[in-house]
Structure formats: structure tokens, C-alpha cells
Amino acid sequence: MNLFKQIAPSKSILSRNLKSCRAPCFSFVHSFPNTSVEVSSEEQEVIIALGSNVGNRVQNFNKALQLMKKSGVSITRHSCLYETEPAYVTNQPLFLNSAVRGVTKLGPHELLGVLKKIEKDIGRTDGIRYGPRSIDLDILFYGKFRVNSENLTVPHERIWERPFVMAPLIDLLGSGIESDTVASWHSLSKLSGGLFEAWEKLGGETLVGKHGMRRVLPIGNYLWEWSRKTSVMGILNVTPDSFSDGGQYLSVENAVSQVRRMISEGADIVDIGAQSTRPMASRISAEEELDRLIPILEAVKDEIEAEGKLLSVDTFYAEVASEAVKKGANLVNDVSGGQLDTQMSSFVADLEVPYIAMHMRGNPTTMQSSDNLQYEDVCEQVASELNARVQDAELSGIPAWRIIVDPGFGFSKNTEHNLDILSGLKTMREGMAKKSLAVYHGPLLIGPSRKRFLGEICSRPAAIDRDPATVAAVAAGVLGGANIVRVHNVRDNVDAVKLCDALLMRKRCFE
């Protein structure tokens, strides 16, 4: 099964007429109550939709976000990324659609003018209405206000009939009412259940994965349809002191052999780490980590790419992440979620690669301290703390559509905590949904492989003897909603994942 699609559509394209960006006189109409108010310079929260089906669609989005930030729109939240069938004019390439939430002091017509200039700068030209375009930027909401003028209607008048607009819009909300502004957006739908009811009337979540709408994650020049099957990430530790296989793959020859083995056994991703993060591990410098990592990464990257697989770097150093991506890594896997190197988020934002943010309190030498093991409700608190890590990443410029979350089995958690999370992945996701439905809808990675809690439960003190328990944990995790599993033993876990995927597919057939 090919999980990757090219970002750039291959069909020939037309162009579309731009709306005039004149800014005539207008009035704001507050939705609560229905009274006119004057334009003010106060900061307003806005939602802006993005669409593209010409050229490198992801790069068009990246450029648009950069230009928005430079033009006075501070982006605070991003939706997932959707590939969708074209609407209205159907004989054209597939679209990418998303939306962002932000704040601005620009008036609505000033904002419209800024967005139209960005469209032009990215290459949008006159053409067919609803036809192909390199970028389309629409104001969906502007503060609590309605705006009606010759050139601008807010809320956007066709929100309610467009699943490719409503899906990203819903992602930008939490599952509860977050503020008066968000309450006003719900009221503007004119339905008692607000935007959520409007989305359900269109078909809601049943539309995603079928009917021409897919959630995707951009990696390199491809779009990863990560929800179609559970992906297996094989672990390659190039360290002398990792808890399970330290010292086994320090040589280039042994590392290459192990990568070939994992690929032949069905690994979708190879995750290379050159710094141990086991409990009480001593931290090495970024320079020493690079000395271990780069020779092996360079030796395996071409083979991994040739097999259509992905290469991940497991590091909490921004410098290591940057160098690894320059040398061919496709993803950054950070066990600290940006907490151990404050530059990590900004570096990854510039690298424009997916980011795995894991939950951990403290660092490897302190994570199992009594203070860091205090939880009242581990699923709720891990969800809340992961939300904070994701929010930091988004504010640094990493879109939610590039973020993968990991609850961090064994990191600042005891056996009972790990069991609660493994059995409560759905609860944890729902906790994350309170702040961001984009994170709730995004990919979830789990890494229980050979962890100490499995040894404690099964009386297996040696990590190498915990593979059967790992298979059971992986199966429980996949059936509980995990999308990616990180494992040492690829062969046995690939089989477990295939069975779980078949069970889930069978279940969906009857829903």
C-alpha cells in the first residue's frame, strides 16, 4: 500500500479572477447585540482559510503563513491538513485545505487587502471563478463581528455548505466554549449546537477518509496518509548505554545491517538515536551526539529512501535536529517536547519537517523523582501538558498539521501510570480535544517497547525478554487509537499491527 502522494498536483492548471481588494466604507455589526460599532485598533481574533491546488501546495501554505506573520497576523493555532476533491469546477487538481486562527490589529478590509497581496505575491492570477489557484485566503471570522460590504462578507457566506472549510474550522476549536469570541462564532451558525452541529449536518467525521477528503501530513515532497494503516517505527540506538541494545549498533556496518533487517521486516520508519534517554542516563553534548549519529545516518539514508521509507532522528538538541535534517532525516523525534533545548521549536519550524512531541517531566536524571511521578489523573494531566507543548510549538511556527504527539511510556511514569495511559488513550485524546481538536484529530505515537513496566508485570528483568509483552502492549495501543508504534522487534510487531488494523477495518465496515 502506497501511503504517500506527491504534494504538487500533476494536472495542467488554469487561473482564476482575483476579487478586487478596494477598501470602501463599511460598518461592523456586532452579533451580540445587533448594533453598529466603529472600527477600532483593538486586537481581534480571526480565522483564515487556506486552499491551494497549483504548484507545490505545501510550500504555498508555508509562504502564506510567513507573509501573514510579517503583515500583522500573529498565528496562534493551526488546523489539520486536508487533501480534498475540487468543488464547483471539478475538472482540476486536488486541493490542499487548512485554516489558521490568529490575532491582528488590522481592520477587516485592511486584512483583506493584505491577504489579496499575499495571494498575488505567491502567484495567483486572474482566471476562472472556483478554478485552480496557487493560494486562496479567505476570512472566515473577524472577532465577534459581522462585516458586510461590496468586497467582503464575514462570516464567509459559504462556510456552511463546504466540508473542506468546515473540517479545518472545527479543528481550530476546543471541545468546549473557550471564550466570548468563540461563543459568538458558534452563534453565527444560527444552530443551537453551533459550529459543531453545522459540521454534523454536513456529515461530520464520517466525511474524512472518504468522499474526497483525507487528512494528510507533509513529509518531504509527499503527503503521508497516516490514518490508512498503523505505521511501525523501528528503533536504531547508536549508543553504548541504551537500556535494551546499547553498544550493538555503534559500528556503521552493524547499523546498516540492522536497518536492512528492519526494512525487510516491514518497518515504515527508522528512528535513529545517538543519545540514551534511559532513567539516570548521563547527557552527552550535541557535538558528541553528532559524531555518533552522522556517519551512520549518511550510510543508511539512501537505502531507506530507495525503499520508500522514512528516516527519523531521535534527539532533544536543536543543533542535532538541524544537522540531521540537512543530511536526510525526514522527522524530528524529541523526547522532551522542546523542554530541554528552547531553540528546538524554532529550528524545527524553519526546517519544515514533522515534529514528534513526547511527554516527559524533568530530564532523564530527574524524570523518575517522586515529584515528577505525582499525578491526580495521569491521562488528563499528560493531555494537558502535551497540549502546552503543542501550543508552544505552534506559536514558534510549527503547524499542527506537522505535529505528532507521544504520551511517553516510561518517562516520568510508574507502572500504574503506564497501564492507565495504555488503557486510556481515548481518554487522553479527549483531554487534548478540550484545547485543540486539531491535536485530537492528529497522529498519536506510542513507544512501550521493552519498557521496565512490562518487565515488572511479566517478571522479565532482561529487556530483550520483553518482546511478547511488547506485542501485547502494541496491540492494546493500536486498538485504543495509536497510529504509529515505536519498537525494537519489528517483525513480530508488524504482524500484531496488521491483525489490529484488520480488526479495526472490519469494525468500520459495520458502522
Residue that the C-alpha cell 511521578 belongs to: 373
**CB proximity list for 266: less than 8 A, separation 6 or greater:** 232, 490, 491, 494
* 185 CA to centre of own chain: 24
- Per DSSP bridges, beta strands 81-84 and 44-52 are unpaired
Cα distances (Å, whole numbers) of residue 85 to 2, 157, 159, 327: 19, 20, 16, 35
Q: How far is 267 from 234, CA to CA, in rounded Å?
A: 6
Let me know: does 47 contact 100? Beta carbons within 8 Å: yes
Greatest CA separation for the chain? 75
Peptide bond into 33 cis (omega under 30): yes
> Which own/partner contact pairs does 295-299 have at CB distance under 8 Å and 24+ positions apart?
295/252, 296/236, 296/238, 296/249, 296/252, 296/255, 296/256, 296/272, 297/272, 297/324, 297/327, 297/328, 297/329, 298/327, 298/328, 299/252, 299/255, 299/256
**CB proximity list for 397: less than 8 A, separation 6 or greater:** 65, 69, 75, 345, 346, 349, 350
Looking at 486, 491, 498, 507, which residue is catalytic?
486
What DSSP designation does 55 have? Answer: S
Write down the H helix ranges in 156-285: 163-171, 180-187, 194-202, 252-264
Residue that the C-alpha cell 501550543 belongs to: 391
Which amino acid does the sequence have at 504?
Answer: L
- Reading the block at residue 350, the C-alpha cell is 524553519
CA nearest 50: which of 98, 16, 95? 98
Respond yes or no: is residue 133 known to be catalytic. Answer: no
Angle value at C-alpha 393, between 391 and 395, nearest 5 degrees: 70
Respond yes or no: is residue 402 known to be catalytic. Answer: no
Looking at 451, 460, 498, 508, which residue is catalytic?
451
- Reading the block at residue 341, the C-alpha cell is 533545548
First-to-last alpha carbon distance for the chain, in angstroms, is: 24
Q: What residues act catalytically? A: 451, 486
